[in-house]
Amino acid sequence: AQTAAELHGRYKQHVFDYAREWPIRWAVIVSRGDATHLVSVISHLASDGVGVVTMLKDLASRDPATGRANGPPTGMQPLELARLQASQAGRRQSDAALRYWERLLWVIPARRFAGSADPRQTRFWQAYYDSPASQLAIQAVAARTGAETSTVLLAAFAVALTQVTRINPAVVQVVVNNRFRRDLADVVSPICHHNACVIDVADVPFDQVIARTWRAAVSAYKLGYYDPAGRDELVRRICRERGAEVDLSCFVNDRRMHSRQEPAGPARTPDDIRVALPRSVLTWGGQWDGQGEKCYLFLNDVPGTVNYELLADTHHLSPADMEAILRGLEAALVQAALHPAAPACASSCAADLTPADSRDGDRDAAPT
């Protein structure tokens, strides 16, 4: 196990040479003639997480003696996918998504973060927060509102982020797996894309923040399949025309595959949630220099709890800010469960930086 862990650590640090190397590394650890561990690192250039699961299922189903597959591949192959993307239908889909991006890029605040009061020499930090109380709270809120737990958590992230950055509305890029699209369920390819959600959280109860979040997320998921190079060029053009760099470096990735489906069990009482609060644990993870996003929240698949993982650039979010976001997520959820009528985020905690000429109309309405 130690050998496997050490090799996995080396693999994680490896930078792939995409011109000369396959973007996949596999190793089998053998002890006394028996294979004991499989260590693999797969670049997102090769596949996203769901594609990797599909690949592993295919390997597990093969003949153990010959390695032969049980039949021909069932998923769309990469060349077929490329042809689909280049077709008229594929271009129309991408163009619709880019129009959505263009509308948002013109109206969202350019800034995401106010700046760090404590930038660290080792720039990028990682923190984990394990919160059983969050799990009980999201089950209670989801039962009351009928919302999916992923929507409840995204709403809480928008609230916590706004309370720390004091910038409203919150702009968060969600990961869209695109597996719900026709013929893409079993593709072994990187078809996940990010898409932006704009969520105004000020001076409304959390249930209304959930409603706004749901509308923003539906638009993001529906219009989350596009040409990434085209989107990057669009961002550069609008930044030039606005005369400001629009910061999009805030992300959330809900990686829960099993825990989000956990049954809520008996109705949770306020005391159940309060009793769980002391069991929350904050743990600091790795630190590194080099590339990284300014703020990236992962929701990890851990049963019986919500396991938050936050990666941040301390030149934009200090370690204290990181802790405040993680604890703020829990606090927003607990307050929503125990005091649903209370404002999720007071306007005094959130400066509205939306461009003045785009504030007219209903804030609750998702862009169309």
pLDDT over 60 (residue 352): no
Q: How confident is the model at residue 262 (pLDDT cuts 50, 70, 90)?
A: low
What are the angstrom distances between the C-alpha of 147 and each of 139, 201, 209, 254, 341?
10, 17, 11, 15, 17
Q: How confident is the model at residue 264 (pLDDT cuts 50, 70, 90)?
A: low
Express each pLDDT in 21-55 by its tens digit.
Answer: 888 888 999 998 888 998 988 888 888 888 888 88
Q: Read out DSSP for 95-131?
A: HHHHHHHHHHHHHS-S-S----SS--SS-EEEEEEEE
Using alpha carbons, select from 253, 241, 211 the residue that is nearest to residue 363. 211
Share of the chain above pLDDT 70, in %: 91
Q: Where are the alpha helices (DSSP H) in the chain?
A: 2-13, 49-61, 78-86, 88-107, 132-145, 149-165, 206-222, 228-242, 270-276, 319-338
pLDDT of amino acid 248:
97
Using alpha carbons, select from 345, 338, 1 the residue that is nearest to residue 166. 345
Express each pLDDT in 139-161 by its tens digit.
Answer: 999 999 999 999 999 999 999 99
Contact 299, 307 (CB under 8 A): yes
pLDDT over 70 (residue 364): no
Residue 61: both structure tokens together = 């189903």
Express each pLDDT in 201-213 by its tens digit.
Answer: 999 999 999 999 9
Residues in the chain: 368
For residue 176, how many C-alpha atoms fall within 13 Å in the half-sphere facing its CB?
A: 23
Residue 151: both structure tokens together = 């929507």
Kind plus residue range of the DSSP H or E element containing 34: strand 34-42
Share of the chain above pLDDT 90, in %: 65
Residue 4: both structure tokens together = 């496997």
Contact 81, 192 (CB under 8 A): no
Using alpha carbons, select from 308, 315, 341 the residue that is nearest to residue 160. 308
Express each pLDDT in 266-280 by its tens digit.
Answer: 667 899 999 999 999
Mean of pLDDT over the chain: 89
Top pLDDT among 367 and 305 is at 305
Contact 25, 14 (CB under 8 A): yes
Structural domains in the chain, CATH included, are: 2-46 (no CATH), 105-358 (3.30.559.30)
pLDDT over 60 (residue 360): no
